[in-house]
Structure 1
């Protein structure tokens, strides 16, 4: 009888512990048809391609499969992880965002009322700053991303240690750091400062790698309800050089029930990459079929090339 009571107590304790842990499988399926154009930077010749769009420039997003988990340790302390793998719906091949499988995310974190400390491959703090205000929700065809990159450093970094503050009335900040021995002898830091409260979203992203210039981007948006406007300023450099691209963006989104249309333009004020200043832009239309599924059509004008496509995205 005593052993039975002990066994029941152990099972009850185990059940309580398991109830405080959770693992979630999630992902994105995105595919369509698109015409993309590339331009030879030397000759100026253009090459066009029409076919299935699967994890490409004219997709709204990259198809992916991910798993994340969190355990409540008690006292406000939690620990979690995130693994994420990109893939193409065209042939099932992996879409390797700078690595091998799980190259979109592979990290471990611990957090509480004091903030969150994260280790591994993850999105840059400056990416989150840009995502605070960018009108297309950082779509693959984003004019801002394709013109200036995500604050010059792309969207992800490996071997990163980062700390993110708790949300303080809409304000938050995150600082990431990569040790030099984990980055070919060049230490790197990345900072994102964000404010998101009510109709206002503002983000400042700054990063620097040793022997390279400092990149930065500042942007914000204001939501009037059925209409949102956004503007930004960017100054980014090629790694290890004085070559830079500088400019601004201005755009707006109109929400008409299930339909939304966005126009976002960028304009160079300086461009050392080819020496020509470009006006780029994206025109996007989206129609929500449900909370997790929408169809989209987009046209991207990028450095004198014309790209357009139509597709379907499902989040799960």
Structure 2
């Protein structure tokens, strides 16, 4: 993380403002890439070796963060964050310039208020309980919305009061990109005469401490004409309800959660439940993470089970190398790829290995 002191010093010198002396702008980021080998990557059972585009151990990004002290404990701030695909250098999140975040806000003892494109409460709910995070092999592969749980055209609030956390977002047009995929579902909303078109609201309530934490969330999104995921009417909905928690046993973290998903789309109603359980243990410069997850499809045999483990070694505070192994078992007609955004034939299992390097700044 690097402060742009020169620019701010020049601005303050020209403006001769005491407020400038209490302002800062920072450039920060993370670059993470590697090489993955995945079995059964097509219907013929062929393997593939690739440089992942969506994520490695963590998604790559570059961002700009600015704050200004307004006095009496009040701060103004902004965040502009761009997602990067290191395999070819393109922007992530449906090709948006600042697809990971683009918002402005106010922060005080009462909490944080934000306006713009931002992560919503589904994203926030599993940050501390999902030990793998948005890894190439993770629950993100089972539900690609999880690492893409962001809302365009949104207003958000988050507050923490003696460990109790409450938060919510409300979007009048949840996804303005038409590039396709879970990060760009062509639902810009803001339609005159149709207040439900592409609306989304999410909410979180929980408790966090150093030793343990627990939260619950609710996420409801509406569709509209032309939207992806089968939500082609403003009456169509995709609803996720989650419970997530973590427990510290010395240096070891145990994290678990469950997500119920109900889709009322043009093709009909479907429901599933995703469970995950993981553990993370640092020892010296090494960190070992492991997780098992299972999605049960209701009224169907199309279940899927994930097993993954990762070993990281910190070369410094900002640089690490990592190695991961994973397996995805598909039952029935399920066709969930082990690697997020990958391919697999229905009912076929996949194994994979990932070797990579990560650097933050």
| TM-score bucket (shorter structure) | 0.7 to 0.9
1:267 pairs, out of 294, 300, 308, with 294
How far apart in 1 are the matches of 2:145 and 2:166? 17
User: Alpha carbon RMSD of aligned pairs, Å?
Assistant: 2.6
1:132 pairs, out of 128, 135, 143, with 128
Aligned positions of 1:1-316 closer than 5 A: 14=16, 16-36=18-38, 46-53=45-52, 55-57=53-55, 59-94=56-91, 96-136=92-132, 138-141=133-136, 143-149=138-144, 154-165=148-159, 167-179=160-172, 182-183=188-189, 185-210=197-222, 211-238=236-263, 240=265, 241-270=268-297, 275-302=301-328, 303=330, 304-316=349-361
The answer (yes or no) to whether the contact 2:296–2:302 under 8 Å persists in 1 is no
Q: CA deviation at 1:99?
A: 4.3
How far apart in 1 are the matches of 2:275 and 2:85? 32
Per-residue displacement from partner, 1:150-194 (whole Å, max 9, x unpaired)?
55x9321111111112x2122211100112595371321011223
The answer (yes or no) to whether the contact 1:56–1:140 under 8 Å persists in 2 is no
How far apart in 2 are the matches of 1:99 and 1:117? 26
The answer (yes or no) to whether the contact 2:28–2:62 under 8 Å persists in 1 is yes
How far apart in 1 are the matches of 2:90 and 2:294? 35
- Going from structure 1 to structure 2, the CA distance change for 1:12 and 1:56 (only over 3 Å counts) comes to closer
Larger strand proportion of the pair:
1
Unaligned runs of 5+ in 1: 1-9
Per-residue displacement from partner, 1:194-220 (whole Å, max 9, x unpaired)?
322111122322101233153112111
How far apart in 2 are the matches of 1:56 and 1:11? 42
Q: Secondary structure at the match of 1:243?
A: strand
How far apart in 2 are the matches of 1:32 and 1:73? 43
Per-residue displacement from partner, 1:260-315 (whole Å, max 9, x unpaired)?
1111101233257x842222121111111122211111123234222221101111
How far apart in 2 are the matches of 1:282 and 1:203? 24
The number of residues matched between the two structures is 297
How far apart in 2 are the matches of 1:77 and 1:84? 23
